[in-house]
Amino acid sequence: MRVAGKEMRTIWPSPDRRAVLAIDQRALPGRLEIARLEGVEAVAHAIRDMLVRGAPLIGVAAAYGLALAAARDPSDAALDAARALLGATRPTAVNLRWALDRVGAALANVPPVRRAEAAFAEADAIAEDDVRMCRQIGEHALPLLRARKGEGPLRVMTHCNAGWLATVDWGTALAPVYLLHRAGVEVHVWVSETRPRNQGHLTAWELAGEGVPHTLIVDNAAGHLIARGEVDAVIVGSDRTTAAGDVANKVGTYLKALAARAHGVPFYVALPSSSIDFRVTRGAEIPIEQRDGREVGAGVGVAVQNPAFDVTPAHLVSALITERGVCAASAEGLAALFGRAA
Ligand code: MRU
C-alpha cells in the first residue's frame, strides 16, 4: 500500500539474500525506518520485540528467518534449533507455526546444499500467498460491507491493526476498506487506540497513507458509539481462529463483539486460512500471550495483568471472511469452505 504516495510492503528479502528488510513498526507512526535483519536471531528478536507484528506478518517473517538460518547452516540440527527459536517468539498467532511447518515441509527430502535456496523460495511463496489471500478477503467482504451503507459514508469500526502493516500488503480487516475507498465508495473508519501498545495509531497511519477518512477513539468509547448508532459494521482480524469459529484477537475485541451484538451491529472477522487452527476447537484452548506489566504504564509496585489477546466466542461473530469466501463462524461453516474438520 502507499506511504507518502509510494507503494510499499512490510517485509522483503535483500537482493543478495543475506538479510531480510522490514518496516520497524516500533518507530511508527513517528518515523518510517527500515530494519535490516541479518540472521535468524535478529528475526526472532524482531518478532518478540514487535518490530514486526500482526499474525500474518509474524508468519512471513518466521519463514524468512528459517531461510536465513538455512543459508548459514543447513544441517538438520541447526534448522531444528532455528525452528524452536522462532516458534517460541510469540504464542498466540498460529500463523507462526503454520509458516514454519510449511518451510519445514518444503525442505523435507532436499539435500543440505540446496536447502537455503528452497527455503527462500518457500518464504517468497508464503509472502506472495499472503498478499493474494488478503486481496481475496477484501473482495469477499465487499458485498457484506456495501449492504450496510446508508445515506452517508459507511461507518466501519476496527480494533488493533489488521491492515497492511499486520500482513505483507493489503491487510485483512482493512483490505475491503481500501477496495471500497479506491472504488469511490465513501467510507469512514473508527479506529480504536488499542491499549496498551496502541496499534490503533498504526491503523490511523496507514489509513492516512491511503487517504481514507478515519477518527481515532479511545478503546472505551467503542460501546458509546455503537449504542448511539454511529457504527454500521465492526470488522477485525484474528490471530487464531478455532475449527469451530472461536476467534482470538487483540485484547478488547471481545468487548466490541458484545456491544455490537447488543445493538444489532454486524461483527465480522477477516482472516486468511493461515490463521485457522484446525487442531483446536475451543477458544479456551488457545494460548493467550501474557505481556510485561510495564507496557501498561503503572507505577512501581502496582500489580498488573496484561493479556495481549482475548477470545470472542463463535456465537458473537456474524461471519468469517476468508480468502475462499464468507462462512458462518462454526465447524460446519469452516468445513464447507476448507473441507476439513477438527
Ligand atoms: O500483538 P499484535 O500487534 O501482533 O496483534 C495483532 C492483532 O491482534 C491483529 O488484530 C491481528 O493480528 C489481526 S491480523 C491482520
Give the residues surrounding ligand 1 with Cβ less than 6 Å away: 53-56, 160, 162, 166-167, 171-172, 199, 237-239, 249-250, 308
| Closest approach atom of ligand 1 to CA 171 | 15
Nearest atom of ligand 1 to the alpha carbon of 160: 10
* Spatial contact of 122 and 106, defined as CB atoms under 8 Å apart: yes
From 53, 194, 275, mutation site for ligand 1 pocket: most ligand atoms within 8 A of C-beta: 53
Q: What is the pLDDT of residues 167-199, one digit of tens each?
A: 999 999 999 999 999 999 999 999 999 999 999
Band the pLDDT of 342: cuts 50, 70, 90.
Answer: very low
CA 309 – ligand 1 centroid, Å? 9
Mutate to test the pocket of ligand 1, among 169, 238, 286 (most ligand atoms within 8 A of CB): 238
pLDDT tens profile 42-89 = 999 999 999 999 999 999 999 999 999 999 999 999 999 999 999 999
Average pLDDT over the chain reads 97
Contacts of 79 (CB under 8 A, 6+ apart): 66, 69, 70, 73, 104, 107, 115
Q: What is the mean pLDDT of residues 153-168?
A: 98
Atom of ligand 1 at shortest distance to CA of 162? 15
Report the pLDDT value the prediction gives residue 341, as an integer from 0 to 100. Answer: 52
Annotated catalytic residues are 239
Distant-in-sequence, close-in-space partners of 318: CB < 8 Å, separation ≥ 6: 260, 266, 267, 268, 329
pLDDT at 85: 98
In the prediction, which pLDDT does 329 show?
Answer: 98
d(CA 110, ligand 1 centre) in Å: 33
Q: Please compute the mean of the pLDDT values over residues 314-342 and round it to a whole number.
A: 93
Of the pLDDT bands very low, low, confident and very high (cuts 50, 70, 90), residue 310 is: very high
Ligand 1 probe mutation, 134, 219, 249, 251, most atoms within 8 A of CB? 249
Q: Which atom of ligand 1 is nearest the CA belonging to 166?
A: 15
**Strand ordering across the sheet containing 187-192:** 214-217, 187-192, 154-159, 233-236, 267-270, 319-322, 325-327
pLDDT digit string, tens, across residues 89-134: 999 999 999 999 999 999 999 999 999 999 999 999 999 999 999 9
- What is the pLDDT, as a whole number, of residue 5? 85
Strands 11-13 and 20-23: antiparallel
Distances 279 to 270, 274, 340 between C-alpha atoms, Å: 20, 13, 11
pLDDT average, residue stretch 279-289: 98
